Every structure is written in C-alpha cells, then in structure tokens.
Structure 1
C-alpha cells in the first residue's frame, strides 16, 4: 500500500504522504475503501486537526493547493478551514481508492431568515462502489458524519447530535438542492446555533461540478472579505470525545458528557497553550502574540 500510494502521489503531482497523514490523525494503517473506512478516516481527521482561521487574522494568504495544505496541516501541525481541510481529506481519499469531488455550499447556520449566503463552504461527494456519499472534514460549526446521498439519510455523532440530509429543491436554485440539518445540544457547536434541540439548517448545496478556480475564488472571498466572520473573529473548533470544543476570540467553550465548561482566555501565552492542548493546533507563542486579539 505504501509503495502504491507514493507512486500515485507522484503520478498526480500531489504532496500527500499517507504515512505522515496517518501519523497526524492517529491511524496506524490505511482504512478500507468502503463506508466504514470513510467514517473511520473522517472521524480520525476531525478529532486530530483543528478548524481555525488564524492565518487570516495574521494577514497571511490562505493557499489551497495540495502541497501548501499538506505542509501546513500535516508537517507544521496547524489547522485550517474548509478549503484547506477538505483539500487534504480529498487527496487522502483519492489515494485510498475513494475518489472525491468538491461541492460548494451556502452556510445557513446562524444566517438571518431570508438571507442567501454566498457559496463559501466546500464539502465532498465521494463515490463508493458506484454509490454517492456526502463527506466533510472541514465544517467548523459542529461535528459531522459521512452520509449516503439519499433523501432522509441520517446518523448520530458521539456528542449525541443527529444529522440528516434532505433533498429540498432543484439543482442551481438559490435555495439549494440538498439541505444538511442538525438536531442536538447548542453547546456542541461553535456558538452559532439557536438555543434549542430541534432540527436546524447547517448548509445547502447542489451537485454542480466545481473547478479549482471556483474553489480559489470562494477561498479568496472567505479570507479577505471585510466584515465577515473569518476576517473579524479569531475562530478555532474541534470535535472531542463525546463533545465539542470551540474558541471565538477569547471565549473558550468545551462541551462534553459531564456538561459545559466556559472560560475566558487570559493572554497570548494562555491562548497558544489552549490551541495546542485543546485544539491540537501548533501556533508559536510569537505568532499568538501577533494576533490582533493581543497586539
């Protein structure tokens, strides 16, 4: 498997090294190319690589080519947001015999009624034995499982939340063809969920083909548009065993089986330590001190 994967990586011009990726996410062997393997890989990835936008806040460009993403998220131990996370995840899936195509989505979580958000989230369509599956290792709002692309498909995650897909419209419409929903504890999210346990929209998407330049355009908007969540707030989140952790600016929330813990971050040293210990994100103390939050 190692030799085949490395040859495939060279053939596709990719920087992916499956051995190092597996070490980063805590897997000791390749997963099987089936739904169980997809679920195992996505869970391991999400539990190991935190979601974050801190390079945006540091004024650094977000590069989403395979080599740059592998260097940042695997070799340097950083996290990233959807365009980075799902690039890395898709590269790994492809080498494991699970071809994945990107899809663009409109995030509905926390959006005001009547607002049509831009397509600034990327998720994946994975083909397994001729069947289409929805997958996403890069949604920072909550924990997500892979789901078969069927109307009403549902699953439960370790934080107790339920997730489901609904087919709601026609391809290309502003309302979207598919809707991903979640029902569960609001504390097991990044703070954008409404304060109830009922179904809430997460995002909508359709199956229109996406080009690399479409991804580059969405990533550029996400990382540079003034006044948005990613250009005004310092964001980090990660699923944890039985729960979810989120940090927005100085406010840390950790939700687990025993309840919810909240505290305020004291200084840059505390912030950097919390990134490492809770979110598994390696950001040096000098960079933490340079964040607008502390500068």
Structure 2
C-alpha cells in the first residue's frame, strides 16, 4: 500500500508557492528557454531522485495529491513518474504548455540489447512554437532542457555534453529521437562506463494517455529483478557535479573530481540521505529498508 502523503497538504495550500519554496526559488520563472533551464535545475538540485518507497514495498501512486504531498510537503523524492508529473504541473501553472512523453532507457545496456520497456517519462514543452524536451526525473545523470532538433546539443556544469539525434522514422519501435551523453563517468549513477557518446534514452512524440503512465509506472515498481525493485537508489544534481547512491555505496563528482565511499552505519546513511539527497526517512523506515 502507498503512504498517506496527500494528508500532508494544507487545505488552503498555494501549491505553486510551496513548490517554489521547496526548490529554492523566490518567484515563478518566465516561460522561456532560460526560465525552463532555471526551473529544471532548481528542481533537480532540491528534490532527490529515489526509490525508497519501492524498496519498502509501497505502491507508487500517481494521484496528484499523493505526489505533491510526498515530494513537496513530505521532504521526500521519487522517480520519473512522480518527479515529472510534479514538474509538468508546475510548468503549466507558470505558463509553459507541456505534455508527457514515454521513453526507452538505454543507459547501461549493451549495443545488442533488446528493446527496453517504456519505463521513463519526461516532458515535451512548447516554447513559442518550438518543441523542447525537459526532464526533472532522470536518475542516471543530469539531462538539461534541449531543443528538439536533429543535432541539438547542450552542456552541463559537470563538464558533460548532451545531444539529440533523429535516428529512426516517426513511430519506430526503437524511438524516433535519441538522447546521448558524453562526459565524466563519475558524474553519473555508475552505469556510464565507456568513453564517448552513450545512449541515454530514445522516444517518439506519440500522445501519452494517463493510463499509459499508470501501466509503465506499475511495471516499474512491481517487476521483480529490475533496478528499481532490487537496489536502494538515489541521485541529485550538485552545483558543479552529481551525487548518486546505490545501497551503501555513495559516489560524488564535484569540482572535476570523483569520490566513492561506503556508508558503514545506518545512522550515517540516514543523515546522508537527508543532508545530501534531501530525502528524510524515519529510523523505522531505514530499518525496514534492510540496507544494513
């Protein structure tokens, strides 16, 4: 069962103001490319990507109140279906026309791997008639907002480059568009191990219905022997880098340097989640995770 996060929302809540306070912004951004970049980066630096509820055996609800209560009021994070629902809703309140897309994640897979399921969601944003992608919920690295155009590129403060290429026909099983990354492997969650450009995810521009998101979300938090149901995962964007957690293993990339350490004690692990990833768990929840 899911936790009662919706009950954390005040009855008279100004949700946009609460969201902006959560991500450290004093006021709404303008519906421009610059505003989109500011908002997405603030979101990723203040709301950690994490799957702890999955590992506690809780269902991941896509109910709007449950997501807002958890990520904004509950000092928790979530994965893409939660993160990008919240992000898309707040974008709309600030005048950004946007809708969800679904993607196949390729990060960490071999070149001859079969097609992965559609288990990632992000946002397609209209900026004065131009299509952009925006993603506040990709846990593997930081994917910045990008113009949807063949060969479009973007740089991030961790020294990485991202690009979009059109590599298949519209509606292709493999996805019409491909997002790739080239940059420090230490500024990822550990799945980027080879040099050069690496596939992140591919997608089409097909309309996505709410039931499509429900189906993909349900698979993601229930499928046995997958990444989200077998490992304790968290990540967050840093000022000039990235931090990622896999079980007791913490990796950090900042100032051009990568460090890896093992967290030896449950109380240190809990404090690290709160201080670094901005994810607050109770002592009982940490015990229930059975990381130690």
Q: Is the 8 A contact 1:125 1:134 kept in 2?
A: yes
Say which SS state the counterpart of residue 251 (structure 2) adopts: strand
Other-structure match for 2:242: 244
1:275-294 to 2 correspondence within 5 Å?
A: 275-294=273-292
Ranges in structure 2 where 5+ consecutive residues have no aligned partner: 1-12
**Alpha-carbon offset, residue 261 of structure 1:** 1.6
Q: Runs ≥4 in structure 1, deviation > 2 angstroms?
A: none
Other-structure match for 1:12: none
CA gap of 1:258–1:173, structure 2 versus 1, over 3 A, is closer
Q: Is the 8 A contact 1:178 1:204 kept in 2?
A: yes
Q: Is the 8 A contact 2:158 2:256 kept in 1?
A: no
Q: Is the 8 A contact 1:16 1:92 kept in 2?
A: no
Ranges in structure 1 where 5+ consecutive residues have no aligned partner: 1-14
**Alpha-carbon offset, residue 16 of structure 1:** 7.1
Other-structure match for 1:46: 44
Q: Deviations over 1:193-233 (max 9, x none)?
A: 1232x110000000000000000000000000000000000
> How many residues were matched structurally?
279
CA gap of 1:258–1:166, structure 2 versus 1, over 3 A, is closer
Q: Deviations over 1:85-123 (max 9, x none)?
A: 000000000111102110000000001222210000001
Instruction: Give, in whole Å, the separation in 1 of the partners of 2:74 and 2:85.
Output: 16
1:229 and 2:216 aligned: no
Q: Deviations over 1:252-293 (max 9, x none)?
A: 001111511211111221111110111111112221111032
CA gap of 1:281–1:192, structure 2 versus 1, over 3 A, is same
TM norm structure 2? 0.93
